[in-house]
Amino acid sequence: MGNCLKSPNTDDISLLRGSDNGPEVVDPSAVHIGPPPPYQESVPIYHPSPNVSRPANQLTEDEQVKIAQRLGLIHHLPTGVFDGTSKKAKECCICMEEFLLGDMLRFLPCMHTYHKECIDDWLMRSFICPSCLEPVDAALLTTYETS
Amino acid sequence: MAGLPRRILKETQRLIQEPVPGISAVPDENNGRYFHVVIKGPAESPYHSGMFQLELFLPEEYPMSAPKVRFMTKIYHPNIDKLGRICLDILKEKWSPALQIRTVLLSIQALLSAPNPDDPLSNDVAEQWKANEQLALETAKEWTQKYAKDKKNNIQ
């Protein structure tokens, strides 16, 4: 009986096998061990800097501004789908996987290319290109001024 | 090794296939994120001929956050404190996900060749280093002979 609390998998297995103990097998103790309060799970975690993780509701005002700016700036960076034509960009240095046809990419102003998912995760922590350490926003602002 | 991100598996594989000269990094058999590291003291440094044991841990967020690295062998160095913690910018604010276990260990090896007493972690050592560099180098050599030859002297 106690086994059913260990993991959802064991529950599934016992259900598949059919229950020998009658149709309604509910461990009363299981009912009271509720899941953690749902509101905690729904608070997103942000990273004002790479080694800092904080739930959204515990960010300082400065950090909130920083993250809002990053969110805004990321959307101005061009994206594309890997079609195999680029000879330069072959591998994403964040996940160390080769680009595959159809992969979503993001291009930084310094011409470095990453998987969109990989670089967006980093840009939410730091606005510096992982490869050349060039500040992404400075380059972005210069692009605006010259265009 | 199951459940590890592919990047960690790839890095581990490459570290074993193409090891960095003077550095060995072996993943723990029970935890693929924990590495047992040995760095050979670079020639022409007071750490020459010492074998320095370190531990390296890849946190859940890796490579978005830096590996955690610590010397287990006592070492007299202005950028390494008595708990073995290392003052190295790429392990903190200069971390980038383009860096790897390999590059981190190479940087630590380079730090042994070029101690930087102007950016100290261990204040006492840095002060002694600046006040009398010759004496500091001698002490570093002595400590290497005393602690980096025998595994029993590891910081716990």
- The reply to whether residue B98 touches residue A121, judged by beta carbons under 8 angstroms, is no
Which residues in chain B are contacts of A118 at CB distance < 8 A? 97
Q: Which of B23, B86, B87, B140 is catalytic?
A: B87
- Interchain CB contact of B60 with A (< 8 Å): no
- Report the alpha-carbon distance of residue A87 to residue A131 in Å, rounded: 17
Question: Among this protein's residues, is B87 annotated catalytic?
Answer: yes
Q: What is the value of pTM for the model shown?
A: 0.78
What is the predicted pLDDT for the residue at A28? 54
Q: ipTM of this model? A: 0.83
Which residues in chain A are contacts of B6 at CB distance < 8 A? 95-97
- pLDDT tens-digit readout, B118-135: 877 767 888 889 999 999
3-class SS at A80?
strand
Residue B29 has pLDDT above 70, yes or no: yes
Residue B15 has pLDDT above 50, yes or no: yes
The mean predicted confidence, pLDDT, of chain B is: 91
Residue of A nearest to B96 (CA): A130
- Report the alpha-carbon distance of residue B56 to residue B102 in Å, rounded: 11
Strands (E), chain A: 45-46, 54-55, 79-81, 91-92, 97-98, 104-107, 113-115
- pLDDT tens-digit readout, B52-73: 999 999 999 999 999 999 999 9
- The reply to whether residue A96 touches residue B96, judged by beta carbons under 8 angstroms, is no
What is the predicted pLDDT for the residue at A12? 45
Q: Domains of chain A by range and CATH?
A: 45-146 (3.30.40.10)
| Exposed / middle / buried, residue A96 (Cβ in 10 Å: 0-12, 13-18, 19+) | buried
**A30 to chain B, minimum CA–CA distance in Å?**
28
Q: Domains of chain B by range and CATH?
A: 6-148 (3.10.110.10)
- Interchain CB contact of B93 with A (< 8 Å): yes
Residue of B nearest to A128 (CA): B96
- The reply to whether residue B97 touches residue A93, judged by beta carbons under 8 angstroms, is yes
- pLDDT tens-digit readout, A76-132: 899 999 988 777 778 999 999 999 999 999 999 999 999 999 999 999 999 999 999
Tokens of B19: 């090891």
- pLDDT tens-digit readout, A56-67: 889 999 888 888
